[in-house]
Structure 1
Amino acid sequence: MSDWVRYSLLGLAVVAAAAVIIGHLRRHRVKVPLPRIPLPAGIARSVFGWLTLSITVATGTVGGLLWVLGWPKFPSSTSFTTTEILDLLKIGLAVVAGFGGVVLLAINFRKQRVAEAEHDLAIKRADREVTQGFNERFGTAAEQLAHASAAVRMAGVYAMAGLADDWADKRQVCVDVLCGYLRMPSDGENENLVSDAIMRIVRDRTTPRTFGFSDWPDTDFDFTDIEFTDLDLAGLSFGGTVTFDRSTFKGELTSFANTSFNGRLSCHGTTFSAKQTTFARAVIGGRLQFVGAEFETSKIDFSGMSLNGIGIDFYRSRFHDTEVDFSGLDIEVGGLDFTRCDFDRSDLDLSFLNTVVLQMFARLAIEDCRFTGGLLKLGDAGDPPRLASLRSTRFTETEIQGSAPWLDVRDIELIGTELPWTTSPPPDKPRPEV
């Protein structure tokens, strides 16, 4: 064995012996006078832990080496020369420096942890201050909306809209406040000006921008129990749920032309009494629900619509002297369902011209409906829907046009009405499987 190895092992043995002696003194509660270094409690614990770990590792390493070398005997101290003693002293100093490095690393590690904790606290403190500022703005805007002066209420509308732009986490709350204001009783012309300002804000924030996204994407709008006159929401994009339950549409024109509904449009108990209502070329990516709706408009235009979602459902809806135009409907995914609806002197156009609806999930269903007078127009051009049914429906003095042998007809009642085609498919054009 070389002298250098022996000296290294001797230095490690000295360190291990010192550790054993210190442990013995601590166990017997012997007070050893040590210099006091004023360290914070957290840093002191960290330093002591790292020192304990390093001593344990050094002791285990020395013991393992001695065991591998067969526990060799070291020469007596009198046999060391001056050069060898100096080498041993260097080894001892290197070991001490190593422990000093451990202490320094422990202190730096602790400081890093403290700095990170302070940084996290600073971020949380800043977030709380920002949230507090938003809450103060919300309270101020709400007070302005409740003010007696219409001018102050107008300022509150724009303040609440600006807060919704800045506070994405609570944007829905701000929008709900603005929509709720529309349901409040009107006190005259000035109140109408405030309501018109809210609707202008809605139109501006739902206008498609870059890549078709609006400023308020995925936001719900609740227009329940509101009366609209000449409502114009044409060309907008709604990503969330739009609710018109128990609302009334009046005036000359209610327009949803070219509007995109990526969420759900809910019209439960809604009354359409404007002279004309249009959903022409609208894009339906979610579901349109007309439940218990009343259609008293002279024409409701669904022509050229594109269904890419669940579809359009009419349930217990009533049509009075209304022309319902679904010509050119494009059903890629979803369907058009009429269930338990009443058509009183109303025309229903399902001609599906210039459309591609022969898809796996495209469907048309008319079930348990009542037609009194009017016209039902079924197209004989283009591709029929793959799932199409006419069931449990009564026709009274109704004109039916078009050839639709692809339609699954069952349990219908004809009073003063004739089908322009036979219910069995002609031999040269078999009915597609349903």
Structure 2
Amino acid sequence: MAVSVLGWLFVALLVAGATGGGLLWFLGWPRLPRAGAFDVGELLDLLKIALSVVAGFGGVVLLAVGYRKQRVAEDEHALSVQRAEREVVQKFNERFGSAAEQLANESPAVRLAGVYAMAGLADDWADKRQVCVDVLCGYLRIRQERDGETEVREAILRMVRDHTRASARISWSALDFDFTGVTLENADFARLEFRGEVLFDGAEFVGGVASFAGTVFGRLLSFHGARFAAAETNFAGITLARGKAEFVGAEFTGDKLDVADALLESSSMAFFRCRFGAPVVDFSQLDFSFGRLVFDRCDFADLELDLSSKHGYDPGPLPVLAENCRFERCRLDLSHVARQVRLTGCSLDTVTLVDRDDEPVQLPWQQVELRGGTLLPSHHTEVVSPASS
């Protein structure tokens, strides 16, 4: 306090000295009369001036004291806020530890309570919401054979669905989700919204249906090494807003793969070294907005592959690419889109090509091998490019 007061007094003296010196300079440095030359009234005026100066310095002292008190009050308030925040974080940490212990309990009822406790903590603790969700996803990745395990895992998936719907009161859509290596029976991720990264690497989908129909993905959707063994895998109407969907080494062994009406906005859906064994593979009516569908080193066998569109795709860069792929005993429907589907280095063995467009078109194919009596539509008899064989 003393240092603060002395500092302000020093500043006041400097200001007063500078002001007085400036005034004397302006007046031409006049010579003051002797003390005996002042009458009583002038002496009183000088006394008033001296008292005003003293009062001014007193005001400076009061100002310094008040400013210091204000700083002390602000520091005390900041400390109280920090203490309150530490107490809140401590309570959150206690809740986190309690929920984690519940998830590790042998009793299925306690583990189920732990799921709801961890989800509730994620709603309340915005700063560590991702950590809480990571714990729930990590629980799914741990393979356990215990009583009530199905109910506990389904509760976690239900929490994910409830918090990634458009109507969710507290949304988890901006978070990342890691379902690596998880086995999902009758997986239901339909009509949800994921704006972060979603990983299903090494996951296995079994049961009657694995549905992602109508779901919006904003960044990376990854299915490296995933196995789709559900009777129907449904990606119909999904939206890839940004980023990309990657299927690397994935297998489709169910009865149907439905990706019809998907919207690719400035993004790509890429299949690399995938094996398509589902009898019906539907990529029809795709909507491309600067997006692209890519097949690279994929195997298609004993299936119907539908890439058709009612009105074709907008002119521009080719939206559908297939490179070094093998088609065996397939029916390939390119109705109204034959111009926009490029095959490079592919092998077609006993393939029937369907194109309901009656006008002859030039297929953008390069180094394509046609074997086993592959059938092209009649108006495509002379359309194989010079680089094709």
TM exceeds 0.5? yes
Distance 1:154 1:130 in 2: 25
Q: Does 1:400 align with 2:337?
A: no
Q: 1:169 maps to which residue?
A: 127
String of CA shifts for 1:220-249, please: whole Å, max 9, x gaps.
Answer: 111111111111111111121111111111
Counterparts of residues 312-391 of structure 1 (less than 5 Å): 312-353=269-310, 357-358=313-314, 363-380=319-336, 385=340, 388-391=341-344
Task: Mark the runs of 5 or more structure 2 residues left unpaired by the alignment.
Answer: none
Question: In the alignment, which of 261, 268, 276 is matched to residue 311 of structure 1?
Answer: 268
Aligned to 2:131, the other structure's residue is in SS state helix
The one of 168, 181, 188 aligned to 1:225: 181
2:5 alignment partner, one of 44, 47, 58: 47
1:244-301 Cα offsets, whole Å, 9 max, x none, are: 1111111111111111112211100000111111111111113111000001011100
Equivalent-residue separation in structure 2 for 1:424 and 1:349 (angstroms): 21
Query: CA shift at 1:158, angstroms?
Result: 0.6
Alpha-carbon spacing, 1:73–1:182, altered in 2? closer, same or farther (3 Å): same
In 1, the alpha carbon distance for the partners of 2:4 and 2:41 equals 38
For 1:25, the equivalent position in structure 2 comes to none
Q: Which moved more, 1:306-315 or 1:58-67?
A: 58-67
Structure 2 counterparts to residues 63-74 of structure 1, below 5 A: 63-74=21-32
Which whole-Å deviations, capped at 9, do the CAs of 1:85-133 have from their partners, x for residues lacking one?
Answer: 0011111111111111111111111111111111111111111111111
Q: Which residue of 2 aligns with 1:267?
A: 223
Distance 1:406 1:155, change over 3 A: farther
The equivalent residue for 1:413 is 369
Q: 405, 423, 427: which is aligned to 2:383?
A: 423
The aligned runs of 1:8-407 (5 Å cut-off) are 43-209=1-167, 215-286=171-242, 287-353=244-310, 357-358=313-314, 363-380=319-336, 385=340, 388-402=341-355, 405=361, 407=363
Q: Label 1:114 to 1:361 Cα distance change in 2 as closer, same or farther (>3 A).
A: farther
CA distance in 1 between counterparts of 2:28 and 2:237 reads: 92
Query: Is this contact kept in 2: 1:332–1:359, CA < 8 A?
Result: no
Q: Structure 2 length as normaliser, TM-score?
A: 0.92
State the SS of the aligned residue for 2:133. helix
Letter in 2 for 1:308: E
Equivalent residue letter for 2:198: V
Three-state SS of the structure 2 residue aligned to 1:345 is: strand
Larger radius of gyration: 1
Q: Which amino acid aligns with 1:401?
A: V
RMSD over aligned Cα, in angstroms? 2.0
Report deviation, 1:361: 6.1
Following the alignment from structure 1 to structure 2, what is the Cα–Cα distance between the partners of residues 117 and 393?
Answer: 72
Q: C-alpha distance in 1, partners of 2:28/2:146?
A: 104
> Is contact 1:223–1:244 with CA below 8 Å preserved after alignment?
yes
AA aligned to 1:409 is W
Q: CA deviation at 1:407?
A: 4.3
Counterpart AA for 1:187: E
Determine helix, strand or coil for the equivalent of 1:410. coil
Aligned residue for 1:346, secondary structure, equals strand
- The separation in 1 between residues aligned to 2:272 and 2:236, in whole angstroms, is 21
Q: Secondary structure at the match of 1:268?
A: coil
1: distance between equivalents of 2:121 and 2:152?
A: 17
Task: Say if 1:384 and 1:216 are closer, same or farther in 2 by CA, change over 3 A.
Answer: farther
Q: Pick closer, same or farther for the CA change 1:359–1:71 going to 2, 3 Å.
A: farther
Deviations 1:329-352 (A, max 9, x none): 111121101111111112211102
CA shift digits 1:136-186 (9 cap, x unpaired):
000000111111111111111110110111111111111111111112233
8 A contact 1:246–1:269 mirrored in 2: yes
- Whether the 8 Å contact between 1:208 and 1:214 is mirrored in structure 2 is no
Q: Which amino acid aligns with 2:352?
A: E
Q: Distance in 1 between matches of 2:363 and 2:268?
A: 19
Letter in 1 for 2:212: F
CA 1:354 to 1:164, structure 2 compared with 1: closer, same or farther past 3 Å?
A: farther
Return the offset for 1:189: 4.8
What is the rounded CA distance, in whole Å, between the counterparts of 1:282 and 1:254 in structure 2?
Answer: 13
Provide structure 1 residue ranges, at least 5 long, that are not aligned to the other structure.
1-42, 426-434
Q: Kindly state the Cα deviation for residue 188 of structure 1 after the two structures are TM-superposed.
A: 4.4
Q: TM-score, normalised by structure 1?
A: 0.83
Deviations 1:402-432 (A, max 9, x none): 158364211111112143324379xxxxxxx
- Quote the Cα distance in structure 1 between the aligned partners of 2:152 and 2:214: 27
- Distance in 2, matches of 1:279 and 1:64, equals 83
Distance in 2 of aligned mates of 1:209 and 1:354 = 34
